[in-house]
C-alpha cells in the first residue's frame, strides 16, 4: 500500500505498503497523510537545487541521499547491486500499462535524440512536452487520472519528426518502411478510441475489457473471475494472478507468468543477475535469506515462494539497506489482481525513525481502543516494524511519481500472522517540503486566519503523523472474518478505495487522541485539528484541481478522500459539524466541531471495517458510488479558476540519483552518488542502458 503527495494533500496508495507520490501543494502543508520528518536539512544540503524542470501539469524535483557516507563499503556495494536490479526492471511497467508501450517509448527516444529539424519551434516544444509527459507516466496514459493523452502538435508534424529521425533506432517491423511505420503508429498516439483508459473502474461495465492495460487479452471479467475461482482464496492462500498475464491461446485461457523463461524473461534475468551479486554482500543472514527467496521466486514464478520471501523480508528488521523489488501494487488492475513492477532501494534514516517507531510500539493499544466491532479487531497485533527511510533509487511504478509512505506485505494473512513493515520516505518528503509553493495556496483556499496559522504551524507534522498512522496502524488493523475471501474477490473494483479510506480513517480518528501526546509525537491537539482542516478541505474541494471539467472521480485515492469527507459532511449536517461558507464570493470549507467530526470518522471506520471483514460488496459499492465519485460542477469550476491564479503544478515527480561504482579490476571498492539535473537526459540514458525487453511480449 502506498501514500502519495498531492497539491495540498497527500495521497495514500493502497498497494500493500506504499504511500503514493502526491502533488506538491505550493505554499501549503501537505495534506492528507504524508510521511516526512519535518526536520531541517543539514547545512551541506542548503544549496542543493530541489526544483529542476516544469512542463504540462508537472514539476520535476530532485532529492539527496543523506547518510550515504555513513555506510560501509560493503553496504554501498550492496546498495549499488540493488540499484542496478531496480533499473533493470524499468521496461516492464511500460509494457504492463500498454502492449504498445515499449514501441512508443523507443519511437520517442529515437525522435527526441535524433530529429534533424528545427528544435526551436512551438511544434517541437509541444512534441518535447509530450515526450516528458510520456516518460513521467511510463506511457501515454496519465499517471494519476489513467486517461490517454496525445501531443499538442498536429499529426502531420508528429509524422514529420519521425520521418526525419534516425530510422535505425526506430522500432520498425521486418521490411517495414518509415512511411508504413508512421501510418501504423500515428493512430495509436492520436486516436482516443484506441486504449482510452488504462484503468476503467466504472460500475456496470466489464472492467477487464474496458481497461487498456496489458494484464489481460481476449478475456472478459467473467472469464477472469471464473478462472481464479478455481483457486482457494481464503486463509493463507497466495495472491493468485499477481505475477502473470491472463489471455487466450487457441480458445483456451492461459497464464503467462512473469519469470525467468516466461514473460518478461529478458528483463527479469538482468534483475536476477544483480540480485545474485547482492546476496554475498548482504548485511546479515536474514537479509540474505530474503534475497535468496526473491531470486527463487523470479526463477520459478511460484507465488508461495513470493509469500515466503515476503515473510522473510518483513522479518529483516536489522538491516540498514533495504529493497522492495517485484510485482507489488495492484492499482493498475481494475479488479485488483495483477501487480505492477516497482522497486525502491533505501537506507534507514536512524533519527527520523524515532517518531514512527513510537507509534508502532503502541499498535496493540490503538487496536484495542479503536471504534471497530470487537469481532473485527485483532486479538494480537504482530510484528509491526516502522521506520523512516532515505530513498536511494526508485523505478517502475514507484517512479518518477513516488510514494511517500509504504506498508508491506500486502497480504492480510501475512500482516496478521507475521507482521509488516511501515516506512516513510524522509528525504522524499523533505524535497517536497522544500519545493512547497510560494504561490499562496493557503491564502487562496483558507480564509479563517486562525485556521491558516494553525495549518502553517502544524501542517507538516500533522501530515507526517497521519501518514505514519495510516501506514503502520491503519493498514495493519482489523481482520477478515474466518471463511471470508480476500478483498479482490469480495469487494472487487472497490477494494482499493475502501482499504485506503479505512487506513485514512484510522489516522484521522487517532489524530485527535491524547495518546499521541502521551507517547511524545505531538504536544497539542492543535496538530490533529490542523489535519482535520486540511483533510476536509482537500476531500471536499481542493483535490478537484486534478480533474478536468466534466470528469467524475475515478482514481482510488481521490475516491477514498471524497468518500470520507462527504460522508462526514452529510452525516454531520444536523449538528453543523462541517460546512461550506462563502466569503467575498469564494467558497471555503469550515470545521465547526472537531470532536464530533472525530466521532463521525470513527463511525465510518467501524462500518468500512465491517464491510471488509464480512465481504459486503453491496454496502461497499453503495458507499463509494454515493460519496466518492460524483463532482459538483459549479464548485469544480470555481476551484479550477482559483487554482489557475497560483504558480502551482498539481503533480510532482523526481529525477533519480545515480550510483557510480569505483572499481579496482572487477571489484567494487566504493560507490559515489551523483545528482543529475535533467529529467529528459535521465530518461534518454535509462532507455539506452536499461532497455532489455522486445517490442512484443
Grid cell at residue 83: 540499484
Q: What is the pLDDT of residue 385?
A: 81
d(CA 384, CA 364): 10
Helix (H) / strand (E) containing 381: none
Q: Range with the lowest mean pLDDT among 334-348, 525-539, 541-555, 601-615? A: 541-555
pLDDT of res. 45: 47
186 contacts: CB under 8 Å, gap ≥ 6: 155, 158, 159
The set of cell numbers assigned to 38 is 519535518
Domain boundaries, the chain: 2-69+264-647, 99-140+151-191
Would you state the pLDDT for residue 614?
97
- Predicted pLDDT at 14: 31
Per-residue confidence (pLDDT) for residue 24, from 0 to 100 = 32
Q: Is the predicted pLDDT of residue 561 greater than 60, yes or no?
A: yes
Q: What is the average per-residue pLDDT within 295-315? A: 97
In order, the DSSP letters of 489-525 are HHTGGGHHHHHHHHHHHHHHHHTT-HHHHHTTS-S-T
How far, in Å, CA of 366 to CA of 405, rounded?
19
Q: Are 407 and 420 in contact (CB under 8 A)?
A: yes
Contact by Cβ (8 Å): 449, 580: no
Please give the average per-residue pLDDT across 127-134, as a whole number. Answer: 98
Confidence of residue 412 (pLDDT cuts 50, 70, 90): confident
| Residue 322: pLDDT over 60 | yes
What pLDDT score does 436 carry? 66
Q: How far apart are CA 262 and CA 376, in angstroms?
A: 41
Residues 289, 292, 295: CA angle, nearest 5 degrees: 150
Across the chain, mean pLDDT equals: 91
The string of pLDDT tens digits covering residues 601-655 is 999 999 999 999 999 999 999 999 999 999 999 999 999 999 988 878 888 999 9
Q: What one-character DSSP code corresponds to residue 556?
A: H
**Cell representation of residue 54:** 516544469
| Residue 301: closest CA among 357, 256, 271 | 256
Of the listed ranges 224-233, 277-286, 428-437, the one predicted with least confidence: 428-437
Other C-beta atoms lying within 10 Å of the C-beta of residue 288: 18
Q: Is the pLDDT of residue 38 over 80?
A: no
E strand residue ranges, 191-267: 216-217, 244-249, 252-257
Residue with cell 486504449: 195
Q: Which pLDDT score is estimated for 144?
A: 86
380 against 22, higher pLDDT: 380
Lowest mean pLDDT among 11-20, 261-270, 301-310, 649-658: 11-20
pLDDT the model gives residue 3 = 54
Q: How many CA atoms lie within 13 A of 407 on its CB side?
A: 32
Mean pLDDT to the nearest integer, 525-546: 96
63-90 pLDDT per residue, tens: 999 999 999 999 999 999 999 999 999 9
The 10s digit of each residue's pLDDT in 150-169 is 999 999 999 999 999 999 99
Residue 37 has pLDDT above 60, yes or no: no
Q: How far apart are CA 271 and CA 44, in angstroms?
A: 34
- Using DSSP's 3-state secondary structure scheme, residue 482 falls into coil
Please tell me the predicted confidence (pLDDT) of residue 439: 58
More confident residue, 45 or 389: 389
Of 6-10, 51-55, 117-121, 575-579, the least confident = 6-10
Q: Report the pLDDT value the prediction gives residue 46, as an integer from 0 to 100.
A: 56
What is the pLDDT at residue 653?
Answer: 96
Mean pLDDT on 456-476: 88
Beta strand residue intervals within 409-516, DSSP E = 420-425
Helix (H, G, I), strand (E, B) or coil at 407: strand
At a CB cut-off of 8 Å and minimum separation 6, what does 135 contact? 105, 108, 400, 679, 680, 683
Q: Confidence band (pLDDT; 50, 70, 90) for 472?
A: confident
Judge contact between 96 and 213, C-beta under 8 A. yes
C-alpha to C-alpha distance for 13 and 555, rounded to whole angstroms: 10
3-class DSSP string for 24-81: CCCCCCCCCCCCCCCCCCCHHHCCCCCEEEEECCEEEEECCCCCHHHCCHHHHHHHHH
pLDDT in tens, 364-407: 999 999 999 999 999 998 767 888 899 999 999 999 999 888 88
**What pLDDT band is residue 30 in, cutting at 50, 70 and 90?**
very low
Query: By C-alpha distance, which of 464, 479, 365, 369 is closest to 422?
Result: 464
pTM of this structure: 0.83
| Least confident stretch, 255-264, 321-330, 547-556 | 547-556
DSSP line for 524-590: -THHHHHHHHHHHHHHHTGGGGGS-TTPPP-SHHHHHHHHHHHHHHHHTGGGT-EEEEEETTEEEEE
Query: Measured between alpha carbons, how far is 429 from 24 in angstroms, rounded to an integer?
Result: 10
For residue 438, the model assigns a pLDDT of 54
DSSP 316-349: --S-SEEEEEEE---TTSTTS-PPPEEEEEEEE-
The grid coordinates of residue 209 equal 475489457
C-alpha cell at 222: 467473467
176: its cell numbers: 517495414
The percent of residues in the chain predicted with pLDDT above 90, rounded, is 78
Q: Which residues lie closer than 8 Å to 121 by C-beta, 6 or more apart? A: none
| Residue 674 pLDDT exceeds 50 | yes
Cα–Cα distance, 697 to 694 (Å, whole number): 6
Contacts of 388 (CB under 8 A, 6+ apart): 35, 37, 348, 349, 352, 353, 355, 356, 423, 424, 425, 426
The set of cell numbers assigned to 453 is 496559522
Backbone angles phi, psi at 499, to 5 degrees: -70, -40
What residues contact residue 69 under an 8 Å CB cut-off, 6+ apart?
none
Amino acid at each position: 500500500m502506498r501514500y502519495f503527495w498531492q497539491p495540498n494533500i497527500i495521497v495514500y496508495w493502497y498497494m500493500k505498503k506504499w504511500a503514493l507520490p502526491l502533488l506538491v501543494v505550493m505554499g501549503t502543508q501537505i495534506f492528507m497523510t504524508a510521511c516526512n520528518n519535518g526536520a531541517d536539512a543539514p547545512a551541506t544540503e542548503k544549496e542543493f537545487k530541489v526544483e529542476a524542470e516544469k512542463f504540462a501539469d508537472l514539476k520535476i524535483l530532485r532529492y539527496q541521499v543523506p547518510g550515504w557516507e555513513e555506510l560501509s563499503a560493503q553496504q554501498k556495494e550492496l546498495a549499488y547491486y540493488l540499484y542496478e536490479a531496480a533499473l533493470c526492471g524499468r521496461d516492464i511497467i511500460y509494457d504492463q500499462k500498454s502492449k504498445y508501450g515499449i514501441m512508443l517509448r523507443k519511437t520517442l527516444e529515437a525522435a527526441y535524440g535524433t530529429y534533424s529539424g528545427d528544435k526551436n519551434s512551438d511544434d517541437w516544444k509541444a512534441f518535447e512536452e509530450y515526450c516528458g509527459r510520456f516518460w513521467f507516466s511510463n506511457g501515454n496514459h496519465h499517471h494519476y487520472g489513467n486517461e490517454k493523452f496525445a501531443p499538442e502538435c498536429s499529426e502531420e508534424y508528429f509524422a514529420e519528426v519521425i520521418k526525419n529521425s534516425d530510422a535505425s533506432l526506430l522500432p520498425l517491423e521486418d521490411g517495414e518502411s518509415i512511411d508504413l511505420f508512421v501510418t501504423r503508429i500515428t493512430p495509436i498516439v492520436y486516436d482516443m478510441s484506441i486504449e482510452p483508459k488504462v484503468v476503467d473502474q466504472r460500475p456496470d461495465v466489464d472492467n477487464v475489457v474496458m481497461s487498456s492495460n496489458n494484464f489481460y487479452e481476449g478475456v472478459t471479467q467473467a472469464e477472469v473471475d471464473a478462472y481464479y475461482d478455481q483457486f482457494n482464496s481464503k486463509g493463507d492462500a497466495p495472491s493468485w494472478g499477481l505475477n502473470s498475464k491472463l489471455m487466450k491461446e487457441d480458445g483456451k485461457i492461459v497464464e503467462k507468468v512473469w519469470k525467468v523463461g516466461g514473460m518478461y524473461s529478458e528483463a527479469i534475468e538482468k534483475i536476477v543477475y544483480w540480485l545474485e551479486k547482492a546476496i554475498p554482500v548482504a548485511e546479515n543472514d536474514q537479509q540474505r535469506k530474503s534475497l535468496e527467496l526473491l531470486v527463487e521466486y523470479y526463477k520459478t514464478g511460484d507465488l508461495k515462494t513470493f509469500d515466503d520471501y515476503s515473510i522473510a523480508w518483513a522479518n529483516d528488521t536489522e538491516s540498514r539497506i533495504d529493497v522492495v523489488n517485484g510485482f507489488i501494487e495492484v492499482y493498475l488492475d481494475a479488479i485488483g489482481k495483477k501487480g505492477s513492477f516497482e522497486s525502491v532501494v533505501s537506507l534507514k534514516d536512524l533519527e527520523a525513525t524515532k517518531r514512527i517507531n513510537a507509534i508502532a510500539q503502541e499498535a496493540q493499544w490503538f487496536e484495542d481502543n479503536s471504534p471497530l466491532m470487537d469481532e473485527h479487531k485483532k486479538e494480537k497485533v504482530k510484528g509491526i516494524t516502522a521506520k523512516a527511510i532515505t530513498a536511494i533509487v526508485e523505478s517502475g511504478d514507484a517512479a518518477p511519481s513516488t510514494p511517500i509512505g509504504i506498508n508491506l506485505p500486502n497480504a492480510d494473512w501475512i500482516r496478521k500472522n507475521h507482521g509488516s513493515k511501515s516506512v516513510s520516505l524522509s528525504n522524499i518528503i523533505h524535497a517536497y517540503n522544500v519545493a512547497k509553493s510560494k504561490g499562496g495556496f493557503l491564502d487562496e483556499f483558507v480564509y479563517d486566519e486562525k485556521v491558516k496559522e494553525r495549518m502553517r504551524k502544524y501542517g507538516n507534522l500533522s501530515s507526517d503523523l497521519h501518514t505514519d498512522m495510516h501506514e503502520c496502524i491503519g493498514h495493519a488493523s482489523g481482520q477478515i472474518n474466518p471463511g471470508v475471501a480476500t478483498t479482490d474477490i469480495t469487494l472487487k473494483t472497490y477494494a482499493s478505495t475502501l482499504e485506503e479510506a479505512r487506513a485514512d480513517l484510522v489516522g484521522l480518528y487517532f489524530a485527535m487522541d491524547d495518546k499521541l501526546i502521551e507517547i511524545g509525537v505531538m504536544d497539542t491537539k492543535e496538530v490533529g485539528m490542523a489535519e482535520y482542516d486540511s483533510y476536509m478541505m482537500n476531500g471536499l474541494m481542493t483535490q478537484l484541481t486534478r480533474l478536468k471539467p466534466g470528469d467524475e472521480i475515478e482514481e482510488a485515492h481521490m475516491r477514498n478522500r471524497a468518500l470520507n469527507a462527504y460522508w462526514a459532511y452529510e452525516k454531520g449536517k444536523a449538528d453543523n459539524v462541517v460546512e461550506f461558507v462563502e466569503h467575498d464570493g469564494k467558497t471555503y470549507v469550515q470545521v465547526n466541531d472537531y470532536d464530533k467530526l472525530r466521532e463521525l470518522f470513527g463511525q465510518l471506520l467501524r462500518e468500512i471495517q465491517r464491510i471488509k471483514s464480512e465481504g459486503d460488496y453491496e454496502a461497499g459499492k453503495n458507499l463509494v458510488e454515493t460519496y466518492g465519485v460524483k463532482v459538483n460542477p459549479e464548485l469544480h469550476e470555481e476551484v479550477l479558476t482559483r487554482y489557475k491564479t497560483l504558480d502551482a503544478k498539481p503533480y510532482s515527480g523526481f529525477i533519480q540519483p545515480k550510483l557510480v561504482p569505483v572499481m579496482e579490476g572487477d571489484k567494487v571498492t566504493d560507490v559515489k552518488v551523483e545528482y543529475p539535473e535533467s529529467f529528459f537526459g535521465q530518461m534518454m540514458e535509462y532507455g539506452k542502458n536499461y532497455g532489455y525487453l522486445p517490442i512484443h511480449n
